[in-house]
Amino acid sequence: MATPAFSSISTARAALQQGTCSSVDLVSDLLAAIESKNSALNAYVSVDREAALAQARAADKTRARGEGGTLCGIPIGVKDVLNVTGQPCQCASDILKGYRSPYDATAVARLRNQGAILLGRLNMDEFAMGSSNENSAFGAVRNPWDTDHVPGGSSGGSAAAVAAGIALAALGTDTGGSIRQPASFCGCVGLKPTYGRISRFGLTAFASSLDQIGPITRTVADAAALLTAMSGHDPMDSTSLDQPVPDYEAGLTGDLTGLKLGLPREYFLDGIDSEVDAAVRSAVAHCEKLGAEVVDISLPHTKYAIATYYIIATAEASANLARFDGVRYGAREAGQDPLDMYGRTRAAHFGPEVKRRIILGTYVLSSGYYDAYYLRAQKVRTLIRNDFEQAFTQCDALLTPVSPTPAYRLGERTADPIQMYLGDIFTVTANLAGICGLSVPCGFTQAGLPVGLQLLGPAFGEETILKVGHAYEQSTDWHQRRPGVWAGGADV
């Protein structure tokens, strides 16, 4: 394994099992890569160097005894919104400065139980609110394909780290596209599971009815491996569903014969970037060559998705973020009384985007406006979910763009929140409907920026979208390309 940092989980796992590489080698290589590359990208906000090496030494001993889980000795980065025992969990916000987690999130605990090494904390938009990773108390993350461009958000640190070879894989969260969009912008694979597939216990909530934890990886097989490890019912999360967990890796057959894939006409708009449109349509044609049948589909309520999403998401954010008040942990500003202290603390330590969403959410929940905004948005959400249920009676999965554009320049949209929000048009619908979605690299623009193909499947349809994504990925070479300035080899 010539360049461990650029290997896939599958390749690294095989090398560890064959003894051609140790976990200590793998972690040491990644730590060296982080040391040399992270200052230009700002993907990691902290790295637990000594703990990672200690975990690697323990994994090597476990493997020598012929024991260990499916991820024994595999290092994984964690988005700074998921709790890991003893590590900071600042959610890229000043208001949680100094907080360290006393427990593992269930998804993290399940990876740990399979032997994964938890390498460090990855940058993000503050409290997962953003599409560009510019809303962070730690500063913006840069896209390794072009550091003048955004990596996407809110899991921008996770995607940039995987793309730049400073993480084999990473955990992200997806509330309205925050795994799939940065994966598309950075040329990675990003999976948003069905709502309830992975426990949210230990995830700092943004919008509780929309949030999901998922992997950002180099290959579809890696995403399948992490999904298998993290999935399953959890009594600590009342929204976690008790459904059987398939072996997702075993379902990656590469054969699309007999599958019917839908092309929703509402997702191919006049305003979509021409290079994105061309790349996605080329990928659709390629899936046909692999044996799939492509059919025309309509999702008529898509035009209401952005308005619906930003009412529901901000309302839930307003409620969830009320707990950050300076009383029990994190930053605190002095005040004349408790109410004054709350106001001063939140004004001083929440960022502009978080304040904007709290204010919007409080407004739509307020007396006199609840029925006009929040209740109506929930009704439209049901119509959007019904659109998908109807579509999946006609096809097995849907093919769409991930974003209307490739990655844009840093600062290009910060002055226009509405323009930023509109970029989520193709991703928020999956969260509103509670279905699964996958982003797979499908091309590059002339400027060398990645483009992603989105696959949407019904609830608990991960096997199907992973199967389609894997077949497409393995018959193309997009996932094998590396950002030139960061590469130095590639093992896939």
Kindly report, residue by residue over 158-212, the tens digit of the pLDDT. 999 999 999 999 999 999 999 999 999 999 999 999 999 999 999 999 999 999 9
Predicted confidence at residue 3, as pLDDT, reads 53
Instruction: Give the whole-angstrom CA distance, residue 322 versus residue 366.
Output: 15
Return all residues near 393 (Cβ < 8 A) that are at least 6 apart. none
Whether 491 shows a pLDDT value over 50: the answer reads: no
Give the H/E segment covering residue 341. Answer: helix 338-349
Closest CA relative to residue 181, chosen from 238, 253, 130: 130
Instruction: Give the whole-angstrom CA distance, residue 73 versus residue 62.
Output: 9
DSSP 325: S
260 part of a folded domain = yes
The answer to pTM > 0.75 is yes
Which residue in 178, 240, 403, 439 is the catalytic one?
178
Over residues 380-397, the mean pLDDT reads 98
Instruction: Give the whole-angstrom CA distance, residue 76 versus residue 217.
Output: 10
> Is 154 annotated as catalytic?
yes
354 part of a folded domain = no
332 part of a folded domain = no
Return all residues near 91 (Cβ < 8 A) that are at least 6 apart. 80, 81, 124, 126, 127, 128, 204
pLDDT tens profile 269-306: 888 999 999 999 999 999 999 999 999 999 999 999 99
Over residues 340-360, the mean pLDDT reads 96
Predicted confidence at residue 492, as pLDDT, reads 39
124 part of a folded domain = yes
Predicted confidence at residue 367, as pLDDT, reads 87
CATH of the domain at 160: 3.90.1300.10
Provide the 3-class DSSP secondary structure of residue 394.
coil
User: 447 lies in which domain range?
Assistant: 4-301+381-480
pLDDT tens profile 194-209: 999 999 999 999 999 9
80 part of a folded domain = yes
Predicted confidence at residue 255, as pLDDT, reads 84
Over residues 57-79, the mean pLDDT reads 97
Strand partners, 122: 44, 79
The tally of domains found in the chain comes to: 1
Predicted confidence at residue 253, as pLDDT, reads 85
pLDDT tens profile 214-243: 999 999 999 999 999 999 999 999 999 999
355 part of a folded domain = no
Percent of the chain at pLDDT exceeding 70: 97
Which residue in 79, 199, 240, 439 is the catalytic one?
79
Closest CA relative to residue 449, chosen from 33, 146, 123: 146
Average pLDDT, the chain: 95
> Is 79 annotated as catalytic?
yes
pLDDT tens profile 432-441: 999 999 999 9
Q: How confident is the model at residue 150 (pLDDT cuts 50, 70, 90)?
A: very high
344 part of a folded domain = no
344-380: string of b/e by CB count within 10 Å (b at 16+)? bbbeebbbebbeebbebbbebbeeeeeeebbebbeeb
Q: How confident is the model at residue 62 (pLDDT cuts 50, 70, 90)?
A: very high
Evaluate whether 400 touches 456 at the Cβ level (below 8 Å): yes
User: Counting beta carbons within 10 angstroms of the beta carbon of residue 196, is it exposed (0 to 12), middle (13 to 18) or buried (19 or more)?
Assistant: buried
Q: Which of 65-69, 182-186, 412-416, 488-492 has the lowest mean pLDDT?
A: 488-492
Evaluate whether 80 touches 88 at the Cβ level (below 8 Å): yes
Query: Tokens for 313?
Result: 């998401």
70 part of a folded domain = yes
Strand partners, 118: 76
Over residues 56-78, the mean pLDDT reads 97
